[in-house]
Structure 1
Amino acid sequence: MIRREDAERGELSAGRSLGGRPGRAGRALGDDPAAGFGALVDQVGAELASADPAAVITTIAGGMTVDTYLPTRTFELVVHGLDICAAADLPTTFTPASLNETCALAGRIAARAGRGPPRRTTGAEAESHAPLT
């Protein structure tokens, strides 16, 4: 189980259990999960409107600024939303802004992991790379 105090100290290891957190989160939505989720969206939207983008918040991955943390949450919502809609055979609808943010984060992750396109330069070094197709 991931304990809050461990998360706040950054003492998490890959393979640690989610400790029932998803089930508790689902139950917290109540008898009408769609309405419960909608209420959370309204609450979070209001809080974000006044949030300082440079404020540091504690996450399961350690401290992050609000403006760094939010794209990771958008990414999770879009990716898992796509999975859920595919599994339930439902259409997906995301705003262009959320898709742009998700694709940008995925591209940054791929580039940092060495899975992006080769680095392009000018001159002789650029000529040594195969063209992108």
Structure 2
Amino acid sequence: MEPKFEKFFTDFFKPEGADDALIDGISKRLDFKLPGDYLDVMRTFNGGDGEIGKNSYLVLFPINELIETNSDYELLMKQIPGFFLFGKDAADTGYAFRKTDLSYHSFGLMSNFKTDFITYISNDFEGFLNFLYMHA
């Protein structure tokens, strides 16, 4: 993991990292490529949860649970097929990649996308983490 990410994960439970065989196996089952900066962090620790800054809590789903988690949220995710859920907060906010450009977004996990919004956060994982660290 690059040093620039370390400040975000000081109060974070970090299980053992995902190996390349696991990442490759999951990646082959997806219809898009997972962001490289996100994968670099997941190689250091595969999922985890904890505080990011003073006001944010992040749950990163383990690589090996991503497909199952998106399936568990099928009723929600079929409304937004261009997005892929990778994490959530301690309440009901989900975090997802947009498959076409790998940008990072948030939305309510109980949303009706006819009336609720998907919020753009960042184009990269560092920006996403910085948003949580500074603003959420």
With the length of structure 1 as denominator, give the TM-score of the two structures: 0.24
Q: Which has the larger radius of gyration?
A: 1
Q: Which has the higher strand share?
A: 2
User: Which structure is richer in relative contact order (CA contacts within 8 A, separation 6 or more)?
Assistant: 2
With the length of structure 2 as denominator, give the TM-score of the two structures: 0.24
